[in-house]
C-alpha cells in the first residue's frame, strides 16, 4: 500500500476525475462515501478540489477525501434563477480583462465584475488590455489610477506587442484564476501570449451531450497555478447583492452616504441625499456615479428573498467615514451566498453566472 497523495482535481468526467499531484496526472475514482458526503454541493467533487488519494498504479488512483474549500465559483441553473451549481472551487482570483479600444473601455463592466468577484470570494485583478491601440496613455491612466486607489492590482497589457505579459505571468503565478470580460477583449490572446499553446474556451457555447459535458477544467500554468477554463462565462450576476449593499463597493459613494438623511438611502431619488448633492456640485465625477447607478438599476429587488439575514450597513460604522475592509466585504457577500442545490446536469449557455 502506498502513502496517500495530495492533489488538485483538474477535470471531472462522469464518475472519474483527473488529479494533478505535483505535475503527475492520475485518473481517479471517487470512493462511495464521497458521493454520499454532506458537503451540500450538487456534486461531491468539483474542479479545483484539493483531495487526498491513493495511487493504484502510476497513473490511476482512488480519491479518499476532500480538503476544505476556500472559495467557490457558481453558475445558476436555467431551471430556476435561485439555484446554484458550483463549477469550481478554491479559485483565488478573477482576472477582469477589459480592452482600451475594440471594444471600448467602460468602468461599468469592470465594476460589475469586481462585485461578482467579491460575491464568489475571489480577489479581483484588473487587466486593461490592448494598450497598443491607445493614441495616448491618458486614455486609460485615469481609470488605472482610480482602481489602484481602490487597492486593486491593475495590469496594463498588450497581447499583441507583449507589453505587461511578464507582470501578468507574475500575477497568475501559483494562483488559480478565472478570466472574465466581454468577448473580444483579448482573454485568449493574453493567456496564449503568456504561455503559447494554452487555449481557453471562454467564448464558446457548450454543445456536447449531457454526459460528456465538462463543466470546467483547470489549465496548468508553467509558472505554477491554474487558469479555470469554463466555456460560456459571459456576463456576471449580482444575484446575491441587494441595492442597499452596492454602495459598499464604491468607496466614493460609501463615504458620502454617511451624510444622507434617509437611513436606507440608495442615492437615486431620495431627498437630502449627500451623493446626489455631490454629483450636482461636481464634487463627485459623473462617471463614478453612473457606474454605481448602472449596477443598482440591474438589481431586481423583488427577486431577493425577504428573509435573508443581510444586514443593512451599520450607521455607526458609517460614521467612521471609512469603507468596509475588503475582507469584510467578502465576508458579507459570502454570508449571503445561497446554498441551494441544483441537481440538474443539463446544458446551459451561461455557465458561471447569470446575466445581469
Ligand atoms: P477573447 O474573446 O477575450 O478571448 O479575445 P481574443 O483573445 O479572441 O481577442 C479578440 C481580438 O482582439 C483578436 O483579434 C485579437 O488578435 C485581438 N487582440 C487581443 N489582444 C490584443 C492586444 O493587446 N492588442 C490588439 N491590438 N489586439 C488584440
Ligand atoms: Zn443618498
**Segment 198-210, tens digit of pLDDT:** 877 655 444 444 4
The pLDDT confidence band at residue 240, using thresholds 50, 70 and 90, is low
CA-based nearest residue to 237, from 4, 51, 73: 73
What is the pLDDT at residue 73?
A: 74
Cβ of 11 less than 6 Å from ligand 1:
no
Lowest mean pLDDT among 66-80, 84-98, 156-170: 66-80
Cβ of 165 less than 6 Å from ligand 1:
no
Residues 18/32, Cβ–Cβ less than 8 Å = no
What is the pLDDT at residue 108?
A: 73
What is the pLDDT at residue 309?
A: 33
Cβ of 159 less than 6 Å from ligand 1:
yes
Give the per-residue SS3 of 172-186. HCCEEEEEECCCCCC
Q: Is the pLDDT of residue 98 over 90?
A: yes
- 115 or 70, higher pLDDT: 70
Of 102, 131, 186, best ligand 1 pocket probe by most atoms within 8 Å of the beta carbon: 186
Q: Is the pLDDT of residue 90 over 50?
A: yes
Cell numbers 466581454 correspond to: 182
Residues 87/352, Cβ–Cβ less than 8 Å = yes
- 323 or 106, higher pLDDT: 106
Q: Is the pLDDT of residue 268 over 90?
A: yes
Cβ of 100 less than 6 Å from ligand 1:
no
**What is d(CA 126, CA 139) in angstroms, rounded to the nearest whole number?**
16
State the average pLDDT for the chain: 76
The pLDDT confidence band at residue 84, using thresholds 50, 70 and 90, is low
**What is d(CA 349, CA 323) in angstroms, rounded to the nearest whole number?**
36
Lowest mean pLDDT among 84-88, 166-170, 200-204, 260-264: 200-204
Q: Is the pLDDT of residue 301 over 80?
A: no
Q: Is the pLDDT of residue 286 over 60?
A: yes
As a whole-number percent, the residues of the chain with pLDDT over 70 amount to: 70
Lowest mean pLDDT among 47-61, 158-172, 177-191, 317-331: 317-331
Distance of CA 133 to the CA centre of its chain: 27
Of 158, 159, 219, best ligand 1 pocket probe by most atoms within 8 Å of the beta carbon: 159
The residue-averaged pLDDT of 257-278 equals 95
Round the CA-based radius of gyration of the chain to a whole number and report it. 21
What is the pLDDT at residue 45?
A: 84
Express each pLDDT in 6-58 by its tens digit. 999 998 877 789 999 998 999 998 776 554 345 554 457 888 999 999 999 99
Of 179, 184, 232, best ligand 1 pocket probe by most atoms within 8 Å of the beta carbon: 184
The pLDDT confidence band at residue 310, using thresholds 50, 70 and 90, is very low
Express each pLDDT in 328-342 by its tens digit. 555 544 443 333 223
Give the residue whose CA is nearest to atom 10 of ligand 1: 184
As a whole-number percent, the residues of the chain with pLDDT over 90 amount to: 38
**What is d(CA 247, CA 292) in angstroms, rounded to the nearest whole number?**
7
Distances (CA, A) of 230 to 195, 203, 208, 214: 18, 9, 14, 9
- 122 CB-near residues (< 8 Å, 6+ apart): 71, 73, 91, 92, 93, 94, 178
The pLDDT confidence band at residue 264, using thresholds 50, 70 and 90, is very high
The residue-averaged pLDDT of 270-281 equals 96
The residue-averaged pLDDT of 346-351 equals 29
Amino acid at each position: 500500500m502506498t502513502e496517500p497523495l495530495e492533489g488538485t482535481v483538474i477535470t471531472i468526467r462522469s464518475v472519474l476525475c483527473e488529479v494533478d499531484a505535483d505535475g503527475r496526472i492520475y485518473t481517479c475514482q471517487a470512493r462511495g462515501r464521497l458521493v454520499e458526503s454532506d458537503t451540500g454541493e450538487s456534486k461531491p467533487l468539483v474542479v479545483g478540489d484539493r483531495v487526498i488519494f491513493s495511487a493504484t498504479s502510476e497513473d490511476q488512483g482512488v480519491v479518499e477525501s476532500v480538503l476544505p474549500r476556500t472559495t467557490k465559483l457558481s453558475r445558476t441553473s436555467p431551471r430556476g434563477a435561485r439555484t446554484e451549481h458550483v463549477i469550481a472551487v478554491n479559485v483565488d482570483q478573477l482576472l477582469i480583462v477589459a480592452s482600451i479600444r475594440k471594444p471600448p473601455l467602460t468602468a461599468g463592466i469592470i465594476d460589475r465584475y469586481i462585485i461578482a468577484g467579491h460575491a464568489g470570494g475571489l480577489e479581483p485583478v484588473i487587466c486593461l488590455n490592448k494598450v497598443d491601440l491607445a493614441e495616448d496613455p491618458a486614455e486609460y491612466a485615469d481609470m488605472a489610477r482610480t482602481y489602484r486607489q481602490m487597492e486593486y492590482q491593475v495590469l496594463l497589457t498588450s497581447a499583441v506587442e507583449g507589453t505587461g505579459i511578464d507582470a501578468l505571468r507574475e500575477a497568475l503565478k501559483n494562483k488559480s484564476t478565472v478570466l472574465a470580460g466581454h468577448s473580444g477583449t483579448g482573454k485568449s490572446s493574453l493567456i496564449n501570449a503568456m504561455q503559447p499553446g494554452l487555449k481557453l474556451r471562454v467564448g464558446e457555447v457548450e454543445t456536447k451531450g449531457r454526459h460528456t459535458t465538462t463543466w470546467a477544467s483547470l489549465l496548468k500554468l508553467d509558472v505554477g497555478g491554474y487558469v479555470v477554463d469554463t466555456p460560456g462565462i459571459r456576463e456576471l450576476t449580482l444575484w446575491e447583492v441587494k441595492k442597499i449593499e452596492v454602495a459598499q463597493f464604491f468607496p466614493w459613494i460609501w463615504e458620502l452616504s454617511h451624510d444622507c438623511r434617509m437611513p436606507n438611502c440608495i442615492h437615486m431619488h431620495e431627498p437630502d441625499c449627500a451623493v446626489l448633492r455631490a454629483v450636482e456640485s461636481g464634487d463627485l465625477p459623473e462617471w463614478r456615479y453612473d457606474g454605481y447607478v448602472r449596477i443598482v438599476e440591474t438589481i431586481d429587488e423583488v427577486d431577493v428573498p425577504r428573509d435573508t439575514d443581510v444586514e443593512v450597513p451599520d450607521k455607526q460604522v458609517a460614521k467612521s467615514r471609512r469603507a468596509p475592509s475588503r475582507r469584510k466585504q467578502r465576508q458579507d457577500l459570502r454570508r449571503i451566498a445561497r446554498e441551494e442545490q441544483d441537481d440538474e446536469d443539463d446544458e446551459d449557455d451561461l455557465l458561471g453566472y447569470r446575466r445581469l
